[in-house]
Amino acid sequence: MNTVNIIGLGYVGLPIALEAADSGYMVRGFDIDKHRIKMISDGKSYIEGVTDSDVQRSITTGRFTFFSDAAELGASDVYVVCVPTPLDVNKKPDLKYLINAVDMISKVLLPGELVIIESTVAPGTVRNTIIPHITNVSGIPKDEIKISYSPERIDPGNIAWKLSNTPKLVSGIDKLSLNLALEFYSKFVQSIFECSSIEVAEMAKLLENTFRFVNISLINELSMFCRKLDIDILEIIQAASTKPYGFMPFYPSVGVGGHCIPVDPIYLAQSANSVGTPIRIIDLADKVNQEMPEYFVARAEERLNGLTGKKIIVIGVAYKPNVSDVRESSVKDLLTKLKSKGAIVRWHDELVKEWNGEKSVPLSDGYDLAILATPHNYLDLKSLGNIPILNTKS
């Protein structure tokens, strides 16, 4: 096992490509985004947690090459699929990127070569959807396909937990597939947990983020309740966190964002609905979090006695602090709803810089209200002067 093709060089694929190359594999990375390929070729990183020197080191060794033309995809011992599995416009699971990637691999796949799926999917997807696609396109009999499911666990901006020291879930369609995947990951991941089936690994990934989704929703509702009672929700969380067992802190927000938390629970809910066992708490949690932007618009309206013509600056548009990632950011709805009320809205986020055709503006005191949506560490709010601040985190 010497050669690896990584399909998708985003927040998941690029770290895997670099770690695999550093551990001795010959890695070829594919991404349809030509801008990403250009940045890599220039020795530049475009994601948090990966430095320019990380990219340059792997290129210099000659063990990491990259391309954006699917026709250049060649044979490999291992194929790792790291493409998005988002929701479509109707909030339904969208597997088109995954299916396209699998079909691309299947055109060059040979018996005995291992396919690893890292993209988030509902339980049963690999067995009932991915394997039939591989069989149909490649002509390889079902029982000769070697496939593993190992869900990504990437937390952008987290300097404590990276690919190498975050425990990895690994599963296989059969014992040989599992062993091949274990051999691959053990070169650069310190701790690996073997799942008894692919479905266990698929479900575990959904549980991880549904747990967070539901608890964020709970805290958001509690924060509204505590405001009515004039109790500090942050002090309450701090007090509860002194319990050394059975509690994990979550914090209020303008909603959930990112590539996992707003998406994965919907995959689970759709799967549960399809077999007639709906998980109702997911639907309720989704409703609560979808309503949070409207809640803060109402608070802004109350604070200013109406929003028509009022100048508002929203601070931080990334989905969480200290990253530039705006995927599924709930701040988008906040901006839209503020504008629909007649407010004159600008935003500041020097990590994001440009978004949806708009640019970050400097912080200043020339506004009627500042809404702190994403508190990056670099922020210095002194330049706001004495204008009121609505903090969505408290």
% of the chain beyond a pLDDT of 90: 95
pLDDT bin (cut points 50, 70, 90) of residue 49 is confident
Q: Give the Å distances, CA to CA, from 364 to 76, 95, 344, 350, 377.
A: 54, 44, 15, 14, 18
Q: Are 172 and 180 in contact (CB under 8 A)?
A: yes
The alpha carbon dihedral of 95, 148, 14, 207 has a sign of positive
* pLDDT confidence of residue 394: 87
What domains are defined for the chain? Answer: 3-196 (3.40.50.720), 212-391 (3.40.50.720)
The residues that bridge with 28 in the sheet, in sequence order, are 5, 65
**From CA 389, how far away is CA 227, in angstroms rounded?**
16
% of the chain beyond a pLDDT of 70: 100
**From CA 89, how far away is CA 16, in angstroms rounded?**
30
Cα-based angle 168, 171, 176 (whole degrees, multiple of 5): 125
More confident residue, 183 or 394: 183
* pLDDT confidence of residue 213: 97
pTM: 0.93
pLDDT bin (cut points 50, 70, 90) of residue 259 is confident
**From CA 40, how far away is CA 12, in angstroms rounded?**
15
Give the residue-averaged pLDDT of 309-337.
96
* pLDDT confidence of residue 295: 97
- For residue 4, pLDDT over 80 is answered with yes
- For residue 378, pLDDT over 90 is answered with yes
Active centre residues (catalytic): 260
Give the residue-averaged pLDDT of 268-289.
96
92: its two tokens: 């339904």
- For residue 1, pLDDT over 80 is answered with no
- For residue 177, pLDDT over 90 is answered with yes
* pLDDT confidence of residue 220: 97
63: its two tokens: 């063990």
Q: Give the Å distances, CA to CA, from 200 to 122, 189, 193, 194.
A: 10, 20, 11, 10
Mean pLDDT for all residues in the chain: 96
Give the residue-averaged pLDDT of 1-28.
95
**pLDDT tens digits, 329-345:** 999 999 999 999 999 99
